[in-house]
Structure 1
Amino acid sequence: MNESATLPSLYRRLLVWLLVPMLLLGSLVLAQAYMASRDTADRAFDRLLEAASLAIAEQVKRQQGQLWMDLPPAALKMLASQAEERVFYALYDANGNFISGNAELPALDDTAADMRFADIEWHDMALRLGIRRSQLEGWRNRQPFEVRVAHTREGREALTQSLFQGSMLRLVAMALLAIGVVLLGIRMALMPLTRLRRAIRARDPRTLAPLDLALPRELAELRETLNDLLARMRRVRANQERFIGDASHQLRTPLAGLSARAELALRQDDPRAWHAALDVMRGSADKTARLASQLLSLTRLNNPEATPEAVAIDLCHTARQAVRDAWTQCHRDGIDLGVEVPAHPVMQQAVEWQLAEALANLIDNARRYGARRITVRVTEEPTRLEVEDDGPGIPESQRLLVLRPFHRGIEGGQGSGLGLAIVDGIARTHGARLSLAPAHPHTEPPGLCVRLQFSEEGTP
């Protein structure tokens, strides 16, 4: 299953990151709108309670030595609403004695305010209670008293719901408009990304030309990154095409020579001619096999996915093994092959098969180009691998050129021109410094010393 199909799209992520905070903010706004509606309804009905208590207080008089009131119907009608809430009132003297009313309402904590309001529970009913402190207006007797007025909350709740519904409708309309704007904004913002995707899909898979598309600054950086990748791919493809062309030419020549030598031998009747042809064919076959092996090594080296992780290895063991592997061939050619290593292990972070391949190529190069004495050496402080020979050496003007594939330092040499290129690639893979210098600069021939010097960071 395609992993990209299971991941949320960028459009969906933007929707989540924008709409979720908007929903949370909308919820807070709705909660605030509800509380504001309830406060507005409370203030409106509290003003009615205050007006009703004032109307009742104006009717309180002193008659026959005690308080008395004649309650007008309008005083309670102003508290009535379509919710048909229940209304209660009562008159109390200064000592808290009930004088008159339709219910004995409770008192509130004593405060200095002339008008007080409170939500109370009374006989299993939720009431809003208002208490007015007042006194008679006569100049002879200014007896204090309290007027207590209360009503149930149906009207307040109905007004709260009405105000909240009006606010909610406006908020929902604004939220829908905001969501529409967000959706449109996201689509418009992602339009350049859609154009980039379509431009990439419409390209010929074989072309590596850079993208030329006007994009916003953030996507322009992505476009430049893609163009850099395409440029590296162009260089890689050019190198591959050049390498394939060179390799096919190098392999075609010895194979054609084998075919021609075999055809020529078949026309001969002399067994000695056959023996000579087979001997030449054996040499060509060995050379072709070596070339094919080096081509495979170079291909394997240039494939980063096939390169294992570096581990700590003993360079002394690697050098001894390389000498053992090349001993038979060098001994047959009369070459003195030896190794110089410390008595103790010299550890280095490296890929063992690559270092073994580098030593094998250096020994083979020295053998093929006329060396009579070859020494493989390991040193420490700094850590180095060296292959030294007494052959003709490489002129200073040729030392960079011989690191290129298929370039031979000596015209007509037996090598394929890949050995030092492989060693150079292995050195770069290990972060080592590759140097070519005369082994004996004051003698003739000067010989050659190829040195791989490792950095201190790779030493365990």
Structure 2
Amino acid sequence: MKHGDSLYRRLLTWLLLPALILAGLMVVQAWLEARRTADRAFDRLLEAASLAIAEQVQWQDDRLWLDLPPAALEMLATDAEERVFYSLVDREGRFITGNAELPGDSRSSRESGDTLFFRNLEWQGLALRQGVRRSQLEDWRQSEPYEVRVAHSREGRDALARELLRGNLAYILVMAALTVTVLLLAIRAALAPLTRLRRAIRARDPRTLAPLELPLPRELAELRETLNDLLARMRRVRANQERFIGDASHQLRTPLAGLSAHAELALRHDDPQRWRDALVAMQATSARTARLAMQLLSLTRLDNPEYAPEFDELDLAAVARQAVRDHWAHCHRDGIDLGVEDPGSPATIRGVTWQLDEALGNLIDNARRYGARRITVRARAQPPALEVEDDGPGIPESRHLLVLRPFHRGQDDGEGSGLGLAIVDGIARTHGARLRLGEGTGGRGLIVSLTFPREDP
């Protein structure tokens, strides 16, 4: 069995994707914060070293003089063995002393008093962190500004940043694991009612159409009620099918029993005339049975919800004329006046030819069987419609809806099967047409009309 995309996988993906993006942002933030923390820690060392150097600056022999204690630079030394540089510069930017001629910071020239600046520096292929302290040597004789420039390589800072990042990563990984675990459990718990519903449906007997009784959350309760509505419709369809099958079997059993009785009666006699009479009766019965079978097939086909006929462009006047041609012989033999009224202008719709032929055929046959002496088939253009009018006994208005039911006869003594108007009603619904039953001209007879929806220009 091939499985497609699952709801569990979709939920997990859409919930984990933001979590992974957030985790990535947290890692980037942790790295940036680790670097800032390492810079702050080592900048304090640079500040202390520059201050220690500045305190040793003196004025001697008309020039700046520095006696640097070893402790001033030892405080910058760490296990990472960074390279440490320093220099003393006078007010003109001239190098006085130090182990390297470090560049200055342009900001220091704009400031006065005791100030300190930090910056990252690329110098002679080395990545350095530099601190520039601008100070001033003052005594009762003179005031001499100077700069102490201290820098060291970044090995210690990077090592500290990596160590801090490892600690943060451990925390992030633990939180990510907990988040994934909670998401998995939460999704499984949230989908548990859906699993119960699936198992309940799978465990049901296919023949059972009883409603589902299962406590579910609101969203799935709506799905349950939708399923129950579907089951209710299926129960009604099955009940209709069972009633239809029962009625059809009853309708077919009677003519078949008649055929068997006529045949048995004929076999008991040796008179050829009796045989002829039996054959005539059997022929009439078999013709009614064949028509009943065809009507049953038509009604079953129309009631099939999956039946989707192809509609063609039809002229209602042509359909009416063809129906009169098809039934004229039977009506003429019975002394019935069958005619057609043409609208004189195109009456075009989209429909199914055989269905409209079947509808007109059933209406003409009903009128012929129930005593009509004049039948008129009429086509109209505005609005597009088909009508069959007769001068027979008609149908009382109180029974108009009843005669549309299968196997309900307009007259108890008629020869019909009670399927004709039911088939016409099914054809009208297939075409989206309105079926109407009314009194004929002068209040006598019956007029049955099919009014079709107007075609869009």
The match for 1:52 is 49
The match for 1:17 is 14
The match for 1:366 is 367
Shift of 1:428: 2.4
| 1:60–1:67 CA contact under 8 A, matched in 2 | yes
Alignment of 1:226-245 (within 5 A): 226-245=227-246
- Is 2:162 the counterpart of 1:161? yes
3-state SS of the aligned residue for 1:452?
Answer: strand
Alignment of 1:122-137 (within 5 A): 122-137=123-138
Alignment of 1:300-379 (within 5 A): 300-379=301-380
Alignment of 1:27-426 (within 5 A): 27-111=24-108, 112-113=110-111, 114-426=115-427
Between the aligned partners of 1:13 and 1:19, the Cα distance in structure 2 is 10
Residue number among 429, 438, 449 corresponding to 2:447 in the alignment = 449
Between the aligned partners of 1:211 and 1:280, the Cα distance in structure 2 is 54
3-state SS of the aligned residue for 2:297?
Answer: helix
Shift of 1:395: 2.1
Shift of 1:449: 0.7
| 1:348–1:459 CA contact under 8 A, matched in 2 | no
1:142 is matched by which residue type in structure 2? S
Shift of 1:382: 2.5
1:61 is matched by which residue type in structure 2? Q
3-state SS of the aligned residue for 1:248?
Answer: helix
Question: Bigger CA drift: 14-23 or 255-264?
Answer: 255-264
3-state SS of the aligned residue for 2:306?
Answer: helix
2:356 is matched by which residue type in structure 1? L
- Is 2:441 the counterpart of 1:440? yes
Between the aligned partners of 1:397 and 1:130, the Cα distance in structure 2 is 107
Between the aligned partners of 1:101 and 1:352, the Cα distance in structure 2 is 109
Shift of 1:329: 2.1
Query: Any stretches of 5+ residues in structure 1 without a counterpart?
Result: none
Shift of 1:333: 2.2
Between the aligned partners of 1:34 and 1:325, the Cα distance in structure 2 is 92
Between the aligned partners of 1:420 and 1:69, the Cα distance in structure 2 is 121
Question: Bigger CA drift: 256-265 or 111-120?
Answer: 111-120
Query: Any stretches of 5+ residues in structure 2 without a counterpart?
Result: none
State the identity %: 68
Q: Normalised by the size of structure 2, how large is the TM-score?
A: 0.96
Between the aligned partners of 1:309 and 1:27, the Cα distance in structure 2 is 58
Shift of 1:412: 2.0
| 1:349–1:459 CA contact under 8 A, matched in 2 | no
1:264 is matched by which residue type in structure 2? L
1:148-205 deviation digits (Å, cap 9, x = unpaired): 1011010110011011111111011011101111110001111111111111111111
1:41-92 deviation digits (Å, cap 9, x = unpaired): 1111111111111100000111111111111111111111111110000111
| 2:346–2:381 CA contact under 8 A, matched in 1 | no
| 2:345–2:381 CA contact under 8 A, matched in 1 | no
Between the aligned partners of 1:447 and 1:279, the Cα distance in structure 2 is 32
Between the aligned partners of 1:364 and 1:227, the Cα distance in structure 2 is 42
Question: Bigger CA drift: 138-147 or 278-287?
Answer: 138-147
1:286 is matched by which residue type in structure 2? A
3-state SS of the aligned residue for 1:305?
Answer: coil
1:413-447 deviation digits (Å, cap 9, x = unpaired): 111100011111222232322221221344xxx21
1:242-281 deviation digits (Å, cap 9, x = unpaired): 0000001101110111111112112211111111111111
| 2:116–2:134 CA contact under 8 A, matched in 1 | yes
Question: Bigger CA drift: 308-317 or 405-414?
Answer: 308-317
RMSD between superposed Cα atoms in Å: 1.4
Shift of 1:116: 1.3
| 1:327–1:337 CA contact under 8 A, matched in 2 | yes
Paired residues, what number?
453
1:101 is matched by which residue type in structure 2? G
Between the aligned partners of 1:361 and 1:243, the Cα distance in structure 2 is 19
Between the aligned partners of 2:24 and 2:235, the Cα distance in structure 1 is 55
1:292-336 deviation digits (Å, cap 9, x = unpaired): 000000000011322314443211121122222222222222222
1:452 is matched by which residue type in structure 2? L
Between the aligned partners of 2:436 and 2:442, the Cα distance in structure 1 is 15
Question: Bigger CA drift: 249-258 or 424-433?
Answer: 424-433
Between the aligned partners of 2:312 and 2:165, the Cα distance in structure 1 is 72
Question: Bigger CA drift: 336-345 or 205-214?
Answer: 336-345
Shift of 1:39: 0.9
Between the aligned partners of 1:138 and 1:311, the Cα distance in structure 2 is 113
Between the aligned partners of 1:403 and 1:434, the Cα distance in structure 2 is 10
3-state SS of the aligned residue for 1:120?
Answer: strand
| 2:86–2:149 CA contact under 8 A, matched in 1 | yes
Between the aligned partners of 1:390 and 1:276, the Cα distance in structure 2 is 33
- Is 2:5 the counterpart of 1:8? yes
| 2:403–2:410 CA contact under 8 A, matched in 1 | yes
Q: Normalised by the size of structure 1, how large is the TM-score?
A: 0.95
Shift of 1:6: 4.4
Shift of 1:139: 2.7
2:137 is matched by which residue type in structure 1? L
